[in-house]
Structure 1
Amino acid sequence: LEFATIFVGVLPIAVFGGGFWLTALGCILGTALGSLTHGLLSAMGPRFGVPQMVQSRAAFGYRGVILPAGLNTLTAGIGWFIVNSVSGTFALLVLTNGAISFSIAFTLVVLAQVAVAFVGHNFIHAFEKYALIYLAIVFAIAVVIIFSKTNYGLGFNAKAPVAFGGQSGAFLLSVFISFGYAAGWNPYASDYSRYLPKTVSRLNTGLAAGLGVFVSCAILEVAGAGVATLGGTNPNPTANFTAPLPSILPTLVLIGILVGAIAANVINVYSGAMSFLTLGIKLGLHQRRAISAVGSGVIGLIIGLAFQANVGPGTKYENFLLAITYWIAPWLAVVFVDYWMRRGQFHEFEFFDTKHLPWQGWVSMLAGLLAGIPFWDQSDPLTPGTLPIVGAVPFAHPEWGDLTFVVSIVVAGVLYFVLKKATGQAAAVSSAA
């Protein structure tokens, strides 16, 4: 429950010219797919009792897991940290009516997030528990009002800033960026479910986690699409979202946006600390958490202050969501194909064995990453002076959107299956289990 979720629904309409209904459908489909994978991964937590990236060592090996774990540290500990910090800063700027500068507001938000994340797991759970109550009530009221004012008849807008992909391009992008947002939680799905007892129902665990992501994200994303149909013009996106709301509600929602940003980022920072475990860095949990929290804060603060509002939601945000899928998709393919080939049977010592060094996992993931490059669509026409990274496929067919995650997941999954079969390791694991 945060503003970054809402803005996922704003982008396809405000930037790409999509109509309301197809945008809503795209957001629901993409979120459903990312929530499904999140639920499946969360169900592994109670069974194995280890963080998601540690469990990934079974397929990637003790050293090979550095590839996904390193990328997760970058996207969660730095990328998401900056995105959420900026959305919280925008809310604080409106709350203070411009009495403080962007730099001061951004610094205050960063310090608050680092402080909560630094304390640790139990405090994070308590903070999230009480934050959820406030966020659920405030956002529920805001969403009802937004839906009452939404222009449901809005169709494709050919005059939108980046409308050259047509309605199909806008629709596909709404699917892919909403998948990227939901799947962004996948690399640390079991980081929190791992504390549940092994006797707990894996079905219930997966449903709770998956539905938690789906319901909250889908509703807020569709609400974001609804806000976009109203055509706000304020350069501060949080002000645009609260503009249609009456009375004191804008203030309450802005507080919710600020709290939501902090709530999301403390999870990102904590799970960044978990990734240190899989990188082979020999430090205690408290030391890893301290390094992750302070490191994310320092790097995020420097980048945020250097670029200020330019790092906020907009085309860069869409590009970031797509970029997340570039590595998460092939990682997911390897993890799920490995689980399927093993029939769910694992030698759990592989999670910690420094001599467990299979190469098929990281090779397949890397192949999936490379295969997706011709499909990248990292254009940024809204920001003059930026260098677009557009592959041959979206350049020739912008109406297809960014198909990278589809290509990457197929290539990585098929290649991993073939390599494991060719080396006979899958059969060995299954028979031994």
Structure 2
Amino acid sequence: MASDAASAAVGTTVGGGSAPSEDAYQAFKVESRGIELIPDDQRPMRPSDLFWLWAGAIWNVEFLVYGALIVSFGLSFTQAVIAILVGNVFYVLLGMASIQGPEAGTTAFGVSRAPFGINGNRVPSLFNWITQVGFEVEGLVLVVLVVEAMLSHEGVSAGTGIKIGLILFAVAVQFIAPFLGHATITKLLRYLSFVFIVVFAIMAALVIPHVHLGTYHKSATWEIWTTAVVLLVSAGGLGWTENGNDYSRYLPRQTSKAKTLWAATLGAAIPSILLELLGAAAYIVSPKATAVTGLPASFASWFFWPFLILALPQIFAINSLDLYSSGVTLQALGVPVKRWGAVIIDTIVAGAVTALVIFKGNFYTDLSGFLDYIVVWLAPWFAIVFVDYLLRRGHYDRQALFAERGGTYWRNGGVNWKAIVSLFLGMAAAMMWIDAAFYVPSYTGPLSSATNGADFSWVLGMLVGGIAYWLLSFRSVPAEAALPLGGSLPGAGAGQAAS
């Protein structure tokens, strides 16, 4: 169990320097902390801040597109409504993935070192870094497409030079908030959320009178419906679990776990449900709603410019979360760089990949495939981290999370093979029941083939990964949690003593 004595020592930086001062957490100043632990007296965040952070990110045109996309699979409006309600229930996973941050005082993949080990954690950290960069690319591509639509509306064709200029513009603007850090993102999203709520109300007023369900007669099979649900779960509750503790870690340790859980869950779920329902309705009005640049066709013609102009800060807002998280994940990988330096690296990488996507085309097909495949690693990883949290009853040896050698989580050369094995068992299980036949690479798992294309990859991956880890660890993890701070299990091998 962590103690107050440990708290005084956990403010050192990744490189071993001294802790930042108490005023380190200020908006519009570069955040000095990265993955390193946050001292108890430097956590000014409140659950309401966490609620509005997630609300500000999710009040976003991307979720309109997700709602329209699932209807384009051939779902009836009723099927779409049920899929949206079911899919968004799983934002509780985001809430569950946010409650470790206040106790551990570190990021999602700082906490992940407890089950996986200091070195073993590099495996899921790599998967997450790729995933976060993928989401960053999604946002940057959308920014470029939105500005291209503006130019096209005025009769300007976007040639190669203009596209390169737009990519550089998108990258430069996107860089600012993540570079400044957590406090800046939290404040910006809180106030932007109020603007976005007003915009949503206007869009709803423009779309709903034109939705005529009596003339829309499509209906999809149950198997296709499950594919729609997995897209929403991947883009929603499960897809954000790897970010949860990155943003809750500035909550005081004494913050109620229930308040943390519900702040993250409801802050994200409420706007997600409303926007996806509106997106589904927008598709009934115009099938062009499956693209951000096509959404204005569902509204009044005068709303073209207000919609696209306001879409830009929305996309930048949600992308700020991914770029911030990819930076601290790069640190979790062991790259010796400060948080702001990691943001610079990830910005350059995301910009280069964005250029490839822009000039390759097929963006929305690639996006759907990306959302389908990321659950393969994400579902078992989340299950392992949460089962580990339950087994250790929420108690972390916070100094051991950052020990270069030795300590509670060192185990076998810094690797916990029980977690690694469980992760890959869960990933194999997920691949057994995935339907990605229309994406690149094209693949349909044997269980999906046997069930006419049903997709329960995320459910099976989560169950197998979590159960496997529990079976392998239900004795060892509670024994670890009972150790004194900096301790190690008897007979654990050389180098296991407290550092």
Displacement of 1:334 in angstroms is: 0.3
Partner residue of 1:254 out of 308, 322, 338: 308
Paired residues of 1:375 and 1:393 also in contact (CA < 8 A):
yes
The equivalent residue for 1:87 is 142
Paired residues of 2:444 and 2:453 also in contact (CA < 8 A):
no
Paired residues of 2:106 and 2:245 also in contact (CA < 8 A):
yes
Partner residue of 2:386 out of 320, 336, 342: 336
Paired residues of 1:52 and 1:188 also in contact (CA < 8 A):
yes
Paired residue total = 411
Q: What is the root-mean-square deviation in Å for CA atoms of aligned residues? A: 2.3
The equivalent residue for 1:173 is 227
Moved more, 23-32 or 192-201: 192-201
| 1:379-413 C-alpha deviation (Å, 9 max, x unpaired) | 227xxxx652222233343352x211111111111
The equivalent residue for 1:393 is 447
Partner residue of 2:128 out of 63, 72, 81: 72
Where do 5+ consecutive residues of structure 2 fail to align?
1-58, 485-499
Displacement of 1:221 in angstroms is: 1.0
**Partners of 1:375 and 1:332 in 2: how far apart?**
18
The equivalent residue for 2:357 is 304
Moved more, 344-353 or 214-223: 344-353
Give the aligned residue type for 1:42: S
**Partners of 1:145 and 1:11 in 2: how far apart?**
20
Give the aligned residue type for 2:190: K
**Partners of 1:387 and 1:157 in 2: how far apart?**
28
| 1:26 is the counterpart of 2:78 | no
Paired residues of 1:364 and 1:413 also in contact (CA < 8 A):
yes
**Partners of 1:210 and 1:244 in 2: how far apart?**
29
Displacement of 1:215 in angstroms is: 0.6
The equivalent residue for 1:373 is 431
**Partners of 2:200 and 2:374 in 1: how far apart?**
26
The equivalent residue for 1:410 is 463
Where do 5+ consecutive residues of structure 1 fail to align?
159-165
Partner residue of 2:275 out of 217, 220, 224: 220
Displacement of 1:73 in angstroms is: 0.8
Paired residues of 2:286 and 2:298 also in contact (CA < 8 A):
no
Paired residues of 2:174 and 2:316 also in contact (CA < 8 A):
yes
Displacement of 1:430 in angstroms is: 4.5
When Rg is computed on C-alpha atoms for both structures, the one with the higher figure is 2
Sort the Cα spacing of 1:244 and 1:207 in 2 relative to 1 into closer, same or farther, 3 A. same
Give the 5 Å matches for 1:120-135.
120-135=181-196
The equivalent residue for 2:202 is 141
The equivalent residue for 2:247 is 192
Sort the Cα spacing of 1:84 and 1:431 in 2 relative to 1 into closer, same or farther, 3 A. same
Sort the Cα spacing of 1:92 and 1:150 in 2 relative to 1 into closer, same or farther, 3 A. same
**Partners of 1:417 and 1:95 in 2: how far apart?**
53
**Partners of 2:264 and 2:254 in 1: how far apart?**
17
Moved more, 190-199 or 108-117: 108-117
Report SS of the residue matched to 1:213.
helix
The equivalent residue for 1:110 is 171
Sort the Cα spacing of 1:233 and 1:306 in 2 relative to 1 into closer, same or farther, 3 A. closer
| 1:318 is the counterpart of 2:385 | no
| 1:244 is the counterpart of 2:315 | no
Sort the Cα spacing of 1:336 and 1:233 in 2 relative to 1 into closer, same or farther, 3 A. closer
| 1:295 is the counterpart of 2:356 | no
The equivalent residue for 1:161 is none
Partner residue of 1:425 out of 476, 479, 487: 476
**Partners of 1:220 and 1:419 in 2: how far apart?**
41
Sort the Cα spacing of 1:318 and 1:111 in 2 relative to 1 into closer, same or farther, 3 A. same
**Partners of 1:154 and 1:403 in 2: how far apart?**
32
Displacement of 1:345 in angstroms is: 2.3
The equivalent residue for 1:41 is 97
The equivalent residue for 1:204 is 259
Moved more, 4-13 or 49-58: 4-13
**Partners of 2:94 and 2:83 in 1: how far apart?**
18
Displacement of 1:286 in angstroms is: 2.5
Paired residues of 1:27 and 1:175 also in contact (CA < 8 A):
yes
| 1:149-193 C-alpha deviation (Å, 9 max, x unpaired) | 2233476637xxxxxxx4212321222111101122110111112
Displacement of 1:271 in angstroms is: 0.7
Displacement of 1:230 in angstroms is: 2.2
Displacement of 1:216 in angstroms is: 1.2
Sort the Cα spacing of 1:117 and 1:427 in 2 relative to 1 into closer, same or farther, 3 A. closer
**Partners of 2:181 and 2:478 in 1: how far apart?**
41
Displacement of 1:233 in angstroms is: 4.6
**Partners of 2:478 and 2:209 in 1: how far apart?**
57
The equivalent residue for 1:274 is 328
Report SS of the residue matched to 2:127.
helix
Give the aligned residue type for 1:321: L
**Partners of 1:154 and 1:380 in 2: how far apart?**
28
Moved more, 35-44 or 350-359: 350-359
Moved more, 316-325 or 387-396: 387-396
**Partners of 1:338 and 1:387 in 2: how far apart?**
33
Higher relative contact order (CA 8 A, sep 6+): 1
| 1:320-360 C-alpha deviation (Å, 9 max, x unpaired) | 11112111100111011111112222222332123323221
Partner residue of 1:346 out of 374, 396, 412: 396
Report SS of the residue matched to 1:267.
helix
Paired residues of 1:377 and 1:394 also in contact (CA < 8 A):
yes
The structure whose residues are more often helix, as a share, is: 1
Sort the Cα spacing of 1:88 and 1:395 in 2 relative to 1 into closer, same or farther, 3 A. same
Give the aligned residue type for 1:19: S
